[in-house]
Amino acid sequence: MTNLDMQNLNRETMKHLKKNILVGMSLLEVRSICEKFMLENGADSFWYWNVGAFVFSGDETTISVSGRNYQTSERIIGNNDIITVDLSSQNNNIWGDYARTIIIEKGKVIENVEDIHNNEWKQGVQMEQYLHKLLIENVTINMTFEELFYYINDIISEHGFLNLDFAGNLGHSIVENKDKRIYIEKGNKVKLSEVKMFTFEPHISTPNSKYGYKREDIYYFKNGKLVKL
């Protein structure tokens, strides 16, 4: 298994969830759907505190907490709801790491951001897409983790959003031991190109909002250009 295999498994898991998620379902059921699918399709365990799917909904989507302290709530999915799902599959210490924000309106998953009717939710999901677009367009092989930290946090602030991460960072290197990760954070002078791969996962909201947004992918340099795994 490779990191790409695990990341593709995460993508398939998210597709599977979107097809099967229902109004009235608990977040515990959502987590179970994801973890069962991953274990049945190539994962042997989950790298982040043995939690395969970190799931939040509604006003819990602003919560940022270490996996060490995470507990899936018993919230029930509503007819109009926002759900964040962060997947942590692994096989033989080879990881995937992938997160998305799922919007449900009138009982159905909205696949296209342009079709979201709740304007606040639409703007949050669009901002996540924009940040990932900027990453691809502007990151160079000489940029450090710290420089990316300041660049993206400035963009987040300029657009009226907040970084919700409990540690203030925006992602981390992909390694085999979670305790050896380095982060997109202040003070990290390592170049992004000096690690094999890294995640980009801004967790954002707007001031005084009840809702938060996540989008996570893995990136690496290929022939000097940043690409998504």
The candidate with the shortest Cα–Cα distance to 35, out of 24, 26, 27, 46, is: 46
DSSP 223: T
Hey, which residues does 6 pair with through a beta bridge? none
Which CATH number fits the domain that encloses residue 157? Answer: 3.90.230.10
pTM: 0.97
The candidate with the shortest Cα–Cα distance to 202, out of 86, 48, 102, is: 86
Which residues in 28-57 are b (16+ Cβ under 10 Å) and which e? ebbbbbbbebbeeebbeebbbeebbbbbbb
Total domains in the chain come to 1
**For position 75, what pLDDT does the model report?**
97
**For position 102, what pLDDT does the model report?**
98
Sheet holding 53-57, edge to edge: 53-57, 81-87, 98-105, 108-109
User: Mean pLDDT per segment of 10 residues, for the chain of length 229 residues?
Assistant: 97 98 98 98 96 97 90 97 98 97 98 98 98 98 98 98 93 93 97 98 97 98 97
**For position 66, what pLDDT does the model report?**
82
> What does the alpha-carbon distance between residue 108 and residue 143 come to, in Å, rounded to a whole number?
41
**For position 51, what pLDDT does the model report?**
96
| Structure token digits, residue 136 | 């691809």
**For position 54, what pLDDT does the model report?**
97
Helix (H) or strand (E) holding 214: strand 213-214
Residue 93 lies in domain: 3-228
Long-range contacts from 136-141, C-beta under 8 angstroms, 24+ separation: 136/219, 136/226, 136/227, 136/228, 139/192, 139/219, 139/226, 140/226, 141/191, 141/192, 141/193, 141/221, 141/224
**For position 68, what pLDDT does the model report?**
85
**For position 34, what pLDDT does the model report?**
98
